[in-house]
Structure 1
Amino acid sequence: MDSHKNYSLFVLLLSSLLYLSSCTSEEEYVMTGEDSLRIKLTAVSDSLEKEFSKRPVKYKFYYPKRGNTYYKLVRKFGQNGADLILALNRIDKKNLKRRDSVVVPDTFVTNWKYYSPFPLKVEEAFQIPKLILVSQRVQAFAAYQLGNLVLWGPTSTGKEETPTPNGLFHTNWKAEETVSTFDDEWILKWSFNIENFEGVSLHQYEMPGYPASHACVRLYEKDAQWIYNWADQWIVTADEESIRAYGTPVIIFDEYDFDDEKPWRKSVNNPDEVKISAGDVEDEINDYLDLILERKKKRIELTAKLDSIKLANKNNKKR
């Protein structure tokens, strides 16, 4: 009887300790909305990594008969397949006609992340709400949310005479349509400036399958419009002379080898030619991580302050 009472008392004491321990843990760490979203996004990335690793994509050359047109690709590969082939070759419909062959995958899936040159997740970017990477070597961009890939696409960066600068930039101001600073006949759609004084921006323009811009980063229209709506603008002072908070960080890195075969065409023999490892991406991010997180903190603080002022003004109007 006494042993039974002692056992019951032991169980009760253990339960109490476990309960108090759990309460202490909850008090020490409260999950934020950012944490919750990161967990969900990372779970998706982990699932896709596992699925994609079962059958890594391989590439081959496709030689169409009697000319290369978009509609021929649609008839053979479907619209999603045709659009994917354009992206893999860094070209648009207009420039497809100039190719006697194109690189095509051995497997077609609707989720383009399967073909991404960039890793599906980057742990070094887990604390960064939004991040855009541009690799000049493989001529592609990637958009990450809390370290998880949400979109990638082809680019055409600066030609050899007018190269796109490497380094850390931010999305500053944007315009649905603007005129190029190099030629007033060039209309740039869905433009997002990333270097205010040099006039470098992300925008829609012709995609010829190689670096051809005057330092800007050319994109497909659908990608340029997506970034236009997704990325954050800077916050400036009333006189527009000073930056109060920076926009979404943009890291441009690598160099394109103008004397070598295009990486995506070399991927036929070695798919890794068009890949960027997670380690390489993390090295690029590490160079700027402290500054990015410092600017993130300041933006959060400023945004909270501005929201508080807006709410106070709104309440005053109701009185």
Structure 2
Amino acid sequence: MNSAARPTAGSHAEAGTGPGAVSGSRSGPGTPDTVKGTGTGPRGVRLTLRGAAVGRGSVPVLDRIGLDVEPGEILTVVGPSGCGKSTLLRTLAGLLPALDGEVHQDGEPITGPHADRALVFQGDALLPWRTVRANVELPLAIRGVARAERRERAEHWLTRVGLDGHGAKPPHRLSGGQRQRVQLARALVAEPRAVLMDEPFGALDAQTRAATQQLLVDVWRGTGATVVFVTHDVNEAVFLGDRVALLSTGRVLDVPRPRERAAHGHPATVALRREVLASLTSALPGAPATAASGTAPSTAPEAPPPVPTSPSSPPLPPPPPPSREPQ
């Protein structure tokens, strides 16, 4: 939905008309050429969906989507498992065609993968037979960049993500957090204008996850890239995003103080966290909303009750007394 003025913090854009539909856009006093946080560098792309249906095969999992992702913003996407988050991301990447409607980058139809858009997966997806440096160089090698330049740029990005001196190691010698840093370096080494991230920090422990989130913020500020970040974690969505798209309700919410750890307990942030969490619990029939801790309630089924003994079954005989050896 194109709005005449930028929504206020905590407000939402109107939802689309179909089940799972999302509609939202944002406008403000800045120009599209301004890179958020820097004001310099190449701007990110604008990603647009208009009446789009996305899915695999012929059955849409999201229908009649209308959404503008602004150049240089971080849009976090939240929804329950199976609601279409990853499918939406792969459609934006050009790996899946839209079943209906329009999907555009800067006004041009997205018809397939492009070097402007990098995709980061939950698993690190590193090639085990290549060194860390060679993994980072891979997008440049595919584009035919000369070996010396590939090495220089890979080393630069390994340094930026805190892995200076690890380039000659195989991936299996790194921790999970370090491997995700390698994947981030590989995504950014070719200077994409959009980075599409599918729960990339989901397997990390809390401390490593927080450090990797901050690392993403630090390196993103120097690129100007547009980021679409899928996550199940409410705190992560509210910390990273300029806006949060809720696939279960169709709302797109402004984040009042994005990327500020100190704002975690601010009333506006707490209210936003409650609303995001409520969107997840509303997708679970009978599940009560929990406190705004930033963690969605578990969707794992309860253990089945024990099978009752049939009333007609005879009772089991008592165990025999222990035998005694003759003296």
Q: Structure 2 length as normaliser, TM-score?
A: 0.22
Q: Give the number of the structure with larger relative contact order, counting CA–CA contacts within 8 Å between residues 6 or more apart.
A: 2
Bigger helix share: 1
